Amino acid sequence: MALGYLELADWRRRVAWLFATWREASSADPAAATLAFRAEKDRLLATHPQSPLPRDSRAKFEGLAYWPYEPTYRMAVPLEPVDSRVGPHDDPDAGAAPLALPSSGAGAISFRRIGRVQLTGPLEGHSLSVFWIDGYGGGLFLPFRDATNGTETYGAGRYALDTIKSADHGGDLVTGTLVVDFNMAFHPSCAYDPRWSCPLAPPENRLAPPLRVGERLRPT
């Protein structure tokens, strides 16, 4: 039992390193950094004992499927607050009440809607809500759905950011912006194995256009 916890700690450590390496390298060459990230993620999924893949499928795992890198889907966007009273701590003046996002499992996870980002490039005119995961440590969470769901991507959507699991693209505290690179969009663990329970994108985070960037289902 203790070994399992050490394995999980190691998995999180390696994923955190992977994203940190990508953030640094992607500032100069995001396409090359993303290719390197994908190759190392595939290796981890195939070999690590805490991989979210079912154990009996790891030996024949051929790697995740992705669309080619498209630079116009990388953007730095201001985080616009939904309520001027909202702060990062659960104090009496916080204006955003906890909410439960849809989930692939029976359990509910508490979130707060902390702001919105107005998207740019091919997604000009669209926006997404950004959430904060309640609980110790917390983290930014940006799930989304689009027109590829159910055919080319997992039916319940994908994640752009999930910083509690190190999926953090970076940002600028001075300008109040987040880096959102949809080429790094990924399927939640429940897409690989239904034993995982994953929070999903609410209706407000459904985008009408198809986003053919990031992780996809392997064509059959």
What's the pLDDT at 92? 45
Q: What single-letter DSSP state applies at residue 183?
A: G
Name the more confident of 199 and 212.
212
List b or e across 93-127, with b for residues whose CB sees 16 or more CB atoms inside 10 angstroms: ebebeeeebeebeeeebebbbbbbbebbeebeebe
Q: For residue 41, give both structure tokens.
A: 């993620």
53-62: Cβ within 8 A, 24+ apart: 53/192, 53/193, 54/192, 54/193, 62/218
DSSP characters for 28-70?
T-HHHHHHHHHHHHHHHHHH-TT-SS-GGGSTT----EEPPP-
CA distance 70 to 198: 27
For residue 199, is pLDDT > 70? yes
What's the pLDDT at 160? 98
What's the pLDDT at 185? 98
| pLDDT bucket at 93, cuts 50 / 70 / 90 | very low
CB 219 within 8 A of CB 82: no
Give the pLDDT confidence of 170-196 residue by residue, as tens digits: 999 999 999 999 999 999 999 999 888
What are the boundaries of each domain within the chain?
66-216
Q: What single-letter DSSP state applies at residue 152?
A: T
Contacts for 12 with CB less than 8 Å, ≥ 6 apart: 165, 166
| pLDDT bucket at 90, cuts 50 / 70 / 90 | low
User: What residues form DSSP beta bridges with 74?
Assistant: 181
Give the pLDDT confidence of 128-187 residue by residue, as tens digits: 999 998 876 789 999 999 999 999 999 999 999 999 999 999 999 999 999 999 999 999
What's the pLDDT at 96? 62
CB 36 within 8 A of CB 23: no
Q: By C-alpha distance, which of 143, 144, 114, 152 is closest to 131?
A: 114
